[in-house]
Amino acid sequence: MSLIHNTAAELGAMIAAGEVSAAEVAGAHLDRMAEVEPKVGAFLHVDRETTLEQARAVDARLQAGEKLGPLAGVPIAHKDIFATRDMPTTAASKILEGWHPPYDATVTRRLREAGLVILGKTNLDEFAMGSSTENSAYQLTHNPWDLTRVPGGSSGGSSAAVASYEAPLSTGTDTGGSIRQPAAVTGIVGMKPTYGGSSRYGLIAFASSLDTPGPFARTVLDAAMLQETFSGYDPMDSTSIDAPVPSVVEAARNADVSGMRIGVIREFAGEGAQPGVLARFNEAVQLLESLGAKVVEVSCPSFETALPAYYLIAPSECSSNLARFDAMRYGLRVGDDGTRSAEEVMALTRAAGFGPEVKRRIMLGTYALSSGYYDAYYGQAQKVRTVISREFEAAFHQVDVLISPTTPTTAFPIGERADDPMAMYLADLYTIPSNLSGNAAMSVPCGLADEDGLPVGLQIMAPVLGDDRCYRVGAAVEKALESRWGGGLLAKAPAL
C-alpha cells in the first residue's frame, strides 16, 4: 500500500515505530500533490522544502527521545484562515494578500507541538463566507469525485485535499456547516466540536459566536485523534470552555450503539432533499436499528427558522469583525498617493479587496444592526436562536443523539448557484441549527446517491460537550458500512 493510502493513525504508529520517517511520509504526500493539485486546486500555498524541513525536524525530535503525540510526523493540510507565522494567511481574500502573521493561532501551535507536519494552506470561500469555495479571491477548488462539481464550503480546499489523498488530515472551521457540508459532498468525515471546545485564538473571525475549528479525516478515529490534538481549554480565547470532556478517541474505538436512543428530526427527514440523499439516509436509520439502537422521531419545529435567523446573526457579526480591515495597519492599501484622506483610502481598499459575497454580508449585517432595525431583525434572530437551543435541550432529554442528512443534495455543478445566493444558502439548511445552539455535530459518509453516484453524508448531532457521542455513532456506522463497501467509501471514488 502506498503511504498516501494509510490512515493517519497508521502513519503515526509507523513513524513512532521507526518503520518510516516523517520526511518520507511528507515526501509521498508532496509527490501526490504535484500529481493531482493542477486538477483539484485545494491549496493556496505550498512550499515543498519548508515542509520537508518540518518533517526532518520531527524525525530529529523523535530520535532524540522527545515524547510527542500519536500523530507526530503525520502530514496535515491547514485551512488558510488560521494564523501561521511562517506562511501567508489570507482567508482567501485580496485584502490580506501576502500577509504573514507575527504569531501562530492556538490550533496551529498545538499541531506543531504535537509534531504534525503542515503541508500548506488550503483554499476556502473568502473569509469563510460560502458553501462552495467559489467565493475564493484566488482560484476554484474541484471535487475529487467529479471535477466539474464543487467540494463544498467554506472549507472546500481542506475537504478536497483529504478526499484526493493529498493529505490524510486537514483543519476546517464550521460557522454554519463549513466542515460538515464539504465533508458530506466529498465523502469524508468532518466534525464540528462543541462551540468553545476548540480555540478561536488566531482564527480570522467571521462570526465570533459561531466559528468553530474542527477536523477533517478519512476515518472517524483519525478525526477523533486530530480533535484531541488541538482542542481543549485556551486562556487566550474568552469563549473557551474550561471543563472536562469525555475522550473522543476512546469513543471512536468503541463503535457500539446498542441501547442508544437516536432521534430522527421530523422537519429534516424529507422536505426538499434529493431522492438519493433520502434513500441513503433511510438506509442509515435502518442500519442503526439493526445495530441495537432505538430510533424514534423527534420534532423540532423551530429548526425551520434557523436559516433566516443565521443569515441575520452571522452577517451582523461579520459586519463588526471585518471593520478591522481598514487599510491602515496591515493588508491591502489602495489609493494612498498622498492626496486622499484616510476615509477615501479605506473605501477604495475595501472596494478592491472584498469580494461580492463578503460585501453582500457586510451590508446585510450593517443594515440589521442599524438604528431602528436592530430589534426587528438582529434582536428577533437572537430570540429564535434561544428557542432553537431550548428545542435541542428538550430533544436531548428524550434521545442521546439526533440524526439527519448532512445536506439536502449531493455536490452541485460549479457555477450552478453562483448567481443565486438563496440556493447557495440552502446547502446549509440542516447544519445551521447546531451552530446557533453550539452543540457538537458530525458528518460521516453513508453511501452514494443513485442519481449521480456522488457521496451522501449522515449528520449526527449531540449535546454540548457530548462530542464523544458523535464519534461513537459515527464509528459504528463507518464500521458497518465499511464491510459492505469493502475498503471504505473513497475506494469507490474515480481515480484522479
State pLDDT tens for residues 118-167. Answer: 999 999 999 999 999 999 999 999 999 999 999 999 999 999 999 999 99
Residues forming beta bridges with residue 295, ordered by sequence position: 262
Q: How far apart are CA 390 and CA 384, in angstroms?
A: 10
The CA distance from 23 to 11, in Å, is 12
State yes or no: is 492 an active-site residue.
no
Please, what is the Cα angle at 388 between 385 and 389, to 5 degrees? 90
Q: Please, are residues 175 and 207 in contact by the beta-carbon 8 Å criterion?
A: yes
Q: Is the pTM of this model over 0.95?
A: yes
In a domain, 103, yes or no: yes
State the pLDDT at residue 1: 59
Q: What pLDDT sits at residue 458?
A: 98
Residue 481's φ and ψ, nearest 5 degrees, are: -80, -25
Query: Do the beta carbons of residue 255 and residue 286 sit within 8 Å?
Result: no
Residue 32: give the domain boundaries: 3-302+386-492
In a domain, 325, yes or no: no
Residue 494: what pLDDT?
A: 76
Phi-psi region of 128 (alpha: psi -120 to 50; beta: other; left: phi over 0): left
Cell of 161: 485535499
Query: Residue 259 burial (CB < 10 Å; 0-12/13-18/19+)?
Result: exposed
Q: Output the domain CATH number for residue 451.
A: 3.90.1300.10
Q: How far apart are CA 384 and CA 388, in angstroms?
A: 6
**Which is the catalytic residue, given 155, 158, 164, 178?**
178
pLDDT at 493: 76
Which residue numbers in the chain have pLDDT < 50?
none
What cell does 242 get?
474550561
Catalytic option among 79, 94, 121, 192: 79
Tally of structural domains, the chain? 1
User: What is the DSSP pairing of strand 117-122 with strand 43-46?
Assistant: antiparallel
Residue 372: inside a domain, yes or no?
no
Answer yes or no: is 318 within a domain. Answer: no
Matching residue, cell 431550548:
390
SS3 assignment, position 72: coil
Among residues 21, 154, 437, 443, which one is catalytic?
154
Residue 133 belongs to a domain: yes
Query: Cα 133 to chain center, whole Å?
Result: 12
Relative to beta strand 440-448, strand 294-298 is unpaired
Look at residue 355 and tell me if it is in a domain: no
Q: What are the contacts of 133-137 at 24+ separation with CB within 8 A?
A: 133/157, 133/182, 134/414, 134/415, 134/418, 135/92, 135/355, 135/356, 135/357, 135/358, 136/44, 136/92, 137/90, 137/92, 137/93, 137/94, 137/97, 137/355
In this predicted structure, what is the pLDDT of residue 271? 65
Q: Where are the alpha helices (DSSP H) in 120-206?
A: 156-163, 180-186
182 and 149 Cβ atoms separated by less than 8 Å = no
- Identify the burial level of 117 via C-beta atoms within 10 angstroms of its C-beta, where 0-12 means exposed, 13-18 middle and 19 or more buried: buried
Asked if 7 and 219 count as a contact pair (C-beta separation under 8 A), the reply is yes
**Parallel, antiparallel, or unpaired: how do β-strands 401-405 and 261-265 relate?**
parallel
* Catalytic residue check, 389: no
- pLDDT value, residue 485: 67
User: What is the per-residue pLDDT across 196-232, written as a single tens digit (0 to 9) for each?
Assistant: 999 999 999 999 999 999 999 999 999 999 999 999 9
Asked if the structure places residue 337 within a domain, the reply is: no
Active site residue 404: no
